[in-house]
A and B are shown apart, each in its own frame.
Chain A
Amino acid sequence: NAGVMQNPRHLVRRRGQEARLRCSPMKGHSHVYWYRQLPEEGLKFMVYLQKENIIDESGMPKERFSAEFPKEGPSILRIQQVVRGDSAAYFCASSPRLAGHNEQFFGPGTRLTVL
């Protein structure tokens, strides 16, 4: 059973460009979480999605950031008009969300560098 897949692993963008980060959850998992890790910091929650639904976006910046988890395909975290402060590692985690299953399995992360 493949783990959580994220791509790309490294992404370089210039200020003002768009960044698209992809996350494929583990097989059978229908819940996806996105976290951001700034340098020398812990992970900060951004958004929690189920298929075709955003459940909790309390950690998402109000502007330029959006996320989706379509019925088919990976979850996408989209950052428009990137700025240097967006440089960070972005982690995706997935969960089956069955009774008794409370663990989130993490992907390897995407390291975004904004020049």
Chain B
Amino acid sequence: AQTVTQSQPEMSVQEAETVTLSCTYDTSESDYYLFWYKQPPSRQMILVIRQEAYKQQNATENRFSVNFQKAAKSFSLKISDSQLGDAAMYFCAYRSAGQGGSEKLVFGKGMKLTVNP
């Protein structure tokens, strides 16, 4: 079974600074997707960024980028120019992509990010 580990339960960053959130996962599959979701106090789950495992290029969405290391099974999220609105819980998630694979998302336990003004 696949597992996702977020070893840092909490982090803080100064506004306008850069912060990196770590995530590791375990799988025997070669084809899969990785995601970072943001959950603000409203509890709405918001997709931040997505990475297909077959793509070597790291995904980027504006101030958000990932460092995907497939061999190391590592998937970290970098937030540049942090803003107060970035404060939230961040969840790393895994999903199989192969035929017959489960459609379910496997989530890490999450990490609480605080942004200090």
Contact = CB atoms under 8 A, between A and B. Distances in A.
Interface of A: 31, 33, 35, 41-45, 48, 55-56, 58-59, 89, 91, 93, 95, 97, 102-106, 108-109, 111
A58 B96 CA distance: 15
A108 B42 contact: yes
Given A33-B103, A59-B104, A43 B44 contact: no
B16 to A, nearest CB: 29
Interface in B72-117: 91, 95, 97, 102-110
A42 B110 CA distance: 6
A35 B91 CA distance: 14
Interface in B43-74: 43-47, 50
A58 B103 CA distance: 11
Interface of B: 4, 33, 37, 42-47, 50, 91, 95, 97, 102-110
B109 A45 contact: no
27 contacts: A31-B103, A33-B104, A33-B105, A35-B105, A42-B107, A42-B108, A42-B109, A42-B110, A43-B45, A43-B91, A44-B107, A48-B102, A55-B103, A93-B45, A95-B103, A97-B103, A102-B33, A102-B95, A102-B97, A103-B50, A104-B105, A105-B47, A106-B37, A106-B46, A108-B43, A108-B44, A109-B43
The 3 tightest CB contacts between A and B, nearest first, are A42-B107, A106-B45, A45-B104
A56 B104 CA distance: 8
